[in-house]
Amino acid sequence: MGKKRIISQSEEELLKEKDKLESALKKEVKVKSPLRSKEGRIYIFSSYNNTILTLTDVSGGVLSWTSSGRLGFKGAKKATPFAASKVAEAISQAAKKLGIDKVNVFVKGIGSGRESAVRSLAARGLDISSVKDVTPIPHNGCRPPKVRRV
């Protein structure tokens, strides 16, 4: 097995991404209100194959997103708790750049990266005000098959 490669961005790429995020936030702020809000939402989607984190403002507009595949993990390594913690670190850095320090977390899915992503967000210094599980649950299930006639 080869070494794990985690893609790291250069300083120029980070500055370009920061400018893009700030311009998106300024556009959002101009439309909504003159005051800049320091609250946001983080949506964690954890499946058997990947972990995706999305940072939004309070009204639901996407500010940033990242996934374990975007960070350079491939194959079965994308669904590990380690990859989910790295994704949470990346999204917390984006939140710090945007000035967001208080977040509500919404978790969806049944993958192995759910808890590790939330723990990593808390460890990186974000103030988590609530954690809510929004995984869809079927109430009655699918229609059963017809009775077999022999």
Q: Tell me the CATH number for domain 37-133.
A: 3.30.420.80
User: Comparing C-alpha atoms, which of 32, 54, 51 is closest to residue 42?
Assistant: 54
- How crowded is the C-beta side of 18, counted as CA atoms within 13 Å? 12
What the block records as the tokens of 92 is 């917390």
pLDDT at 32 over 80: no
pLDDT tens per residue across span 83-98: 999 999 999 999 999 9
Q: What is the pLDDT of residue 95?
A: 92
The reported pTM is 0.71
